Structure 1
């Protein structure tokens, strides 16, 4: 087949590439993804709230393809292999340019300053040290706390100190705990992807983001092509539809439903399905890369 132009695949980890949700995973879906990502035209970016080491641990544990870049810590860090900056070893290096991009939002302050500002608020308690970052302050939230009152108090203290921050609330269903991340307003998955696309001189039309949860909606509802895997909750699918309709961006969102190569559209299968939707020529690339005979579709 003819040469494939560069492709930038950005994907969430948990319940998107990693099949750790309630839905079933199609057999061989992750192996298909790995074979596809092995093509020299494909650049894989793993996107996660995890820190670098926990992302790398997940790659090993779940046999995921080796990423070209990692957007970690809820969009507050970007990592690239040291080899891309001229060194011969395989270590990962933190992109300082990205830190310089987001740091102004916090007016010269960092995680320790945020922790000090909130130290007397008993409705929140700091998460484990490995879940913190220079521009990421993470907390567990008392389930009985009035969220509106708490949100107003936190925002008030941040604004009073000239800190432009956004509060990301989430629910860990498995642990049944409410979590809160305090982040620079400029730090998000969407902004980090835009930063990568610009710095790598990628054609935005050949970039794709895949996700599954409400935390992914900002990117899924944006101008960048996005795929919501089939195992996403119905409420997330409906909210994603509403967002792209409000922005007249319906053509940039694909809701995976299954069918590609007989797969069900969950997890990695949905990522591949979305890729074929936006870049139809990748179907043939996936056929050439796969090693199993007799696949349908």
Structure 2
């Protein structure tokens, strides 16, 4: 069994069962038991801001992580002495190619764009600018247009497109060029001395794609959109990704059941441990 494991997981519709697909009844119980092992370091990697992460932990009885990568990778926090501490080193890293005024400086050039609707203030941050986009829009053309416009203004940015499946609306996040979930996880891995063979990521949506198509071993939960599955199948010969299918421990592969299935695929010795403790769960 590997001596340590960094388990990074998205929240909404990956660990949190807030999609249309059903959750296996014992899945989160198994997950909580699994991450309680001392060799497991848990990190939540999400588009949520910190207050919404805390709310999710309470609402869904989630285990408390040691780290939180929030705001689609534009902030990193560590949990110490029963409180969150923001990583200034990550902020300093992102600040090198981001306007000093923050995201508001970029919004100035986009506020009159007819396809963009600014998201609520709670979903904005110094290093993240977020918009809603109607799904009728041609998102690929829109991203090219915005990227070109911002480049003309000498902004170095990273654009992330995803879809809120529940609300059926497009989500556009504009971040510093060095910020996304993959870059943030890589920064965390380097800081905490985790190698690729000691790390795994689980996700379900477009804003996870940078990690799902990266060298980091990854699992796509079974409830992920079919369009994303098809897209990632074209990269699976180049990147380590496992597609959860169900039937692991009699579960359906959705949400935390899929996370565990992926862990057992990459690290089968952990399934033996879980089987040995099943009677105590």
TM-score, normalising length: structure 1: 0.88
Change in CA separation of 1:65 and 1:291 when aligned onto 2, cut-off 3 Å: farther
Q: Superposed, which structure 2 residues align to 1:219-230 within 5 Å? A: 219-230=211-222
Give the secondary structure class of the aligned counterpart of 1:15.
Answer: coil
In the alignment, what sits opposite 1:47? 45
Per the alignment, residue 259 of structure 1 pairs with 247
d(CA) in 2 for partners of 1:142, 1:241: 27
> What does residue 24 of structure 2 align with?
26
Q: Distance in 2 between matches of 1:238 and 1:285?
A: 33
Contact 1:19 / 1:25 at 8 angstroms: preserved in 2? yes
Note the residue ranges of structure 1 that are not aligned, 5 or more in a row.
none
Which residue number in structure 2 is paired with residue 192 of structure 1?
184
> In structure 2, how many angstroms separate the alpha carbons of the residues matched to 1:274 and 1:113?
41
2:266 is aligned to 278
Seen in structure 2, the aligned counterparts of structure 1 residues 107 and 162 have a Cα distance that, compared at 3 Å, is farther
Q: How many residues align?
A: 281
Distance 1:36 1:111, change over 3 A: same
SS in 2 for 1:199: helix
Contact 1:36 1:289 in 2 (8 A): no
- What is the distance in 2 between the residues matched to 1:51 and 1:72? 5
* CA displacement, residues 45-89 of structure 1 (integer Å, 9 cap, x when unaligned): 1111010010110111011111110011011011111x2xxxx4x
Output the aligned Cα RMSD. Answer: 2.0
Q: Work out whether 1:121 is the aligned partner of 2:122.
A: no
The answer to whether the 8 A contact 1:229-1:271 is kept is yes
Contact 2:162 2:171 in 1 (8 A): yes
Q: 2:147 matched to which residue of 1?
A: 155
Distance 1:120 1:39, change over 3 A: same
* Equivalent position SS for 1:277: helix
Q: After superposition, where does 1:196-235 map in structure 2 within 5 Å?
A: 196-235=188-227
- 52-61 or 156-165: bigger deviation: 156-165
Deviation of 1:219 (Å): 0.7
**Cα distance, 1:146–1:235 mapped onto 2, change above 3 Å:** closer
TM-superposed CA distance for 1:167, in Å, is 2.0
Shift in Å, 1:37: 0.5
Q: CA separation in 1, counterparts of 2:271 and 2:143?
A: 46
Report the 3-state secondary structure (helix = DSSP H, G, I; strand = E; otherwise coil) of the residue aligned with 2:175. Answer: strand
1:87-112 Cα deviation digits (max 9, x unpaired): x4x12011111111222232545112
What SS does the corresponding residue of 2:186 show, helix, strand or coil? helix
Structure of larger gyration radius: 1
Q: TM-score, normalised by structure 2?
A: 0.93
CA spacing shift, 1:262–1:123, aligned 2, 3 Å: closer
Does the Cα contact within 8 Å between 1:10 and 1:47 map onto a contact in 2?
yes
In the alignment, structure 2 segments of 5+ residues that lack a partner are: none
